Amino acid sequence: MRILMVCLGNICRSPLAEGILKSKLNANFEVDSAGTAAYHVGNPPDKRSIAVAQQFGIDISQQRARQFKKDDFNSFDLIIVMDQNNYNDVVELATPAQRRKVHLLRENNEIPDPYYGDASAFEAVFHLIDTACETLVKKYCNG
């Protein structure tokens, strides 16, 4: 199964989501991440995301940002978005059938954007993503 984690910039939330989800799954699963915006394409994750992941034993430093593209609907089984804006931006590119692949990481809730926050905002986001990924694994990955 192939799972794509999506946020706006692909430097704060979705790199964490990629690293955290990978840490819970075996090699039968492929996990990647992307951003709906192109601002940070080619950049490593935000230093604060790298730091909080490191704190919990996950190395995301080698990831590089890329933009979400229509063809991702063909490459991935599940497209997991962090907030409602991400959902709207992704679904806009989808056919009706492809829309069914798109889900919020937290059902009826969001992973808030920590970009303008401090280290504690990044730690809070880490835990929100970690808890939501546990649920995702149980729901879709026979965890």
What would the two tokens of residue 25 be?
């799954």
Question: Is 13 one of the annotated active-site residues of the chain?
Answer: yes
Q: Give which of 126, 120, 136, 131 is closest to 57, Cα–Cα.
A: 126
- Angstrom distance (rounded) from CA 64 to CA 75: 18
Catalytic residue among 12, 32, 113, 133: 113
Determine if 5 is a binding residue for ligand 4NP (CB under 6 A). Answer: no
For the chain, the distance separating the N- and C-terminal CA atoms, rounded to the nearest angstrom, is 13
Query: Binding of ligand 4NP at residue 19 (CB under 6 A)?
Result: no
Q: At what angle do helices 47-55 and 13-24 cross, to 10 degrees?
A: 30
Segment 37 to 66, residues that bind ligand 4NP, using CB under 6 A: 39
- CB closer to ligand 4NP out of 97 and 123: 123
Whether 12 sits among the annotated catalytic residues: the reply is no
Instruction: Please identify, among the stretches 2-10, 73-81, 94-102, 135-143, the one whose residues bind ligand 4NP according to the rule CB under 6 A.
Output: 2-10
What is the rounded CA–CA span in Å between residue 7 and residue 89?
Answer: 10
- Binding to ligand 4NP, residues 63-122 (CB under 6 A): 113, 115
Q: Is 7 in the site for ligand 4NP (CB under 6 A)?
A: yes
Which residues form the catalytic set? 7, 13, 113
